[in-house]
């Protein structure tokens, strides 16, 4: 058990030591910790704060430690509390006295803030990459199945006919906003706090911009107290992740519904389904259900982060150690969910006939018939009532619009002519040719526009090194 310098006469209680240690989870920050220490050592030598010889020893020793961890040969020790002290102690054992000069001009407060920001930047890039892959699959499906008609829903009741492609691209738009939120978050995460010290800055002539440049970071923080206590980037990531998970969950709910015998719009691939332990006929959409279920965890991590921060005075407080586990779990869960979901929809079998039947047999063209009467001069509210009565008549007589005769139509309004009989789901969609509508021409344009947006996102990711 450790003693903290000369201030303490007793070692930390063993249970308290285990309670306070973060190495079981912050060990995954080792690459970022070593990168930050390497840049810091080079800057110290460049500024004449330590010798070039010591800096070279430190950098070489850190590289050996990184390789050792990569190989799985590093012994992470609980009594060294966190990733910083584990690496520092190993470095001291390797190169001796020079290791003690590495911590000149920094604190674990600004060190961990840097490590976490570097890790979060990398994670944001990975998250956006997975979102983009899902979006690409959506666009490919929209292009492949362009022309397939399905019922659109409001209140989970069949409402108006839409193209399946239009429906799929609605989710593209949701995920595009998600990618934008993560991109915005990246800009506020890509800031180096190193050089802030414990909270007040440091009395050494540091070159903070040099360190930031060495790490590929675009800016340095402006206020040392804010630097060590800021976890806004954590909250922003978790908020974006929770909303992205909600979008996945909404889509998962539809996949689950569409795969039921009651809908029969799709069949999930065997590789993304499971069976029942007792009912041989079952094919369960478990992956979609799990994605839907894991959304609660994501929302919970966001709530936990906000509650953890809400009562903290400036500047750093140990409460902030609770920032990482939720982030690690949320990012792991979201990236895995996106990966599984992309594979699931890429391999599902679309059933166009069932979708078309659903659109044709559900009075989905009722609004079009009302619009037809409006075109004949009838006020919309009156046209709405006429068609409502027509629907009631058809239901009572177990007919669809296509099963009614012109004589029956005229019983409800003399304005109906032969051309009213030619209103179909296809003509309904074609009529909705406004920007953003479900008309085939508009959806064709939307597919092209989506590919342009994907190209822009890819360029942004390439600029980050992904």
Residue that the structure tokens 């003690």 belong to: 100
- Which residues have CB under 8 Å from 101's CB, separation 6+? 44, 50, 54, 58
Q: Is 155 a catalytic residue?
A: yes
Rg (CA), the chain: 30
Q: Which of 303, 336, 331 is nearest to 189 (CA)?
A: 331
108-144 and 30-46 helices, crossing angle to 10°: 130
Q: Name the H helices within 72-202.
A: 83-95, 108-144, 164-189
Percentages (nearest 5) of helix, strand, coil residues in the chain:
65, 5, 30
Of the listed 155, 224, 259, 413, which one is catalytic? 155
Active-site residue identified among 51, 218, 276, 402: 276
284 strand-pairing partners: 274
Torsions phi, psi for 206 (to 5 deg): -75, 155
Q: Which residue has the tokens 């973060």?
A: 22
Q: What angle do CA 306, 312, 317 make, to 5 degrees?
A: 110
CA atoms within 13 A on the CB side of 216: 11
The distance of Cα 303 from the centroid of its chain, to the nearest Å, equals 16
- Cα of first residue to Cα of last residue in the chain, in angstroms, is 42
Question: Could you give the 3-state DSSP secondary structure of residue 220?
Answer: strand
DSSP code per residue over 46-106: HTTSS-HHHHHHHHHHHHHHHHHHHTT-----GGG-SHHHHHHHHHHHHHGGGGGGTTTT-
Name, in order, each residue with C-beta under 8 angstroms of 270's C-beta and a sequence gap of 6 or more: 283
Tell me if residue 276 is catalytic: yes
| Catalytic residue ranges | 155, 276
């Amino acid at each position: 058990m450790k003693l903290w310098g000369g201030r303490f006469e007793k070692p930390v209680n063993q249970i308290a030591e285990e309670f306070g240690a973060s190495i079981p989870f912050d060990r995954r920050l080792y690459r970022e910790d070593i990168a930050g220490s390497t840049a810091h050592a080079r800057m110290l030598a460049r500024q004449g704060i330590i010798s070039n010889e010591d800096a070279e020893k430190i950098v070489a020793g850190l590289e050996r430690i990184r390789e050792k961890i990569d190989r799985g040969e590093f012994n992470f020790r609980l009594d060294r509390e966190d990733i910083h002290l584990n690496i520092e102690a190993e470095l001291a054992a390797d190169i001796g006295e020079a290791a003690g000069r590495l911590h000149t001009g920094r604190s674990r407060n600004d060190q961990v803030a840097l490590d976490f920001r570097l890790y979060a930047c990398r994670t944001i890039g990975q998250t956006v990459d997975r979102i983009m892959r899902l979006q690409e699959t959506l666009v490919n499906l929209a292009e492949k199945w362009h022309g397939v008609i399905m019922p659109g829903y409001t209140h989970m009741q069949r409402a108006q006919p839409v193209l399946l492609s239009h429906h799929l691209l609605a989710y593209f738009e949701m995920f595009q906003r998600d990618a934008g939120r993560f991109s915005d978050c990246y800009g506020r995460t890509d800031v180096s706090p190193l050089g802030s010290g414990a909270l007040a800055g440091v009395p050494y002539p540091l070159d903070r911009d040099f360190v930031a440049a060495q790490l590929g970071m675009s800016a340095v923080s402006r206020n040392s107290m804010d630097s060590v206590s800021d976890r806004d980037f954590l909250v922003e990531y978790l908020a974006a992740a929770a909303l992205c998970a909600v979008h996945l969950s909404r889509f998962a709910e539809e996949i689950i519904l569409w795969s039921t015998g009651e809908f029969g719009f799709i069949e999930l691939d065997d590789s993304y389904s499971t069976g029942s332990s007792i009912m041989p006929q079952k094919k369960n959409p478990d992956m979609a259900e799990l994605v839907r279920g894991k959304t609660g965890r994501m929302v919970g991590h966001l709530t936990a982060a906000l509650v953890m921060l809400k009562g903290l005075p400036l500047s750093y407080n140990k409460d902030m150690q609770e920032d990482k586990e939720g982030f690690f779990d949320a990012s792991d869960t979201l990236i895995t969910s996106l990966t599984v979901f992309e594979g699931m929809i890429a391999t599902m079998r679309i059933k166009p006939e069932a979708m078309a039947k659903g659109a044709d047999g559900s009075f989905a063209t009722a609004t079009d018939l009302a619009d037809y009467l409006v075109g004949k001069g009838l006020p919309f509210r009156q046209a709405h009532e006429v068609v409502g009565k027509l629907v009631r008549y058809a239901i009572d007589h177990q007919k669809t619009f296509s099963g009614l005769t012109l004589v029956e139509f005229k019983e409800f309004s003399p304005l109906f002519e032969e051309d009213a009989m030619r209103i179909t789901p296809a003509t309904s969609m074609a009529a909705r040719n406004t920007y953003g509508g479900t008309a085939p021409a508009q959806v064709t344009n939307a597919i092209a526009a989506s590919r342009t947006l994907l190209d822009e996102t890819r360029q942004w990711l390439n600029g980050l090194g992904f």
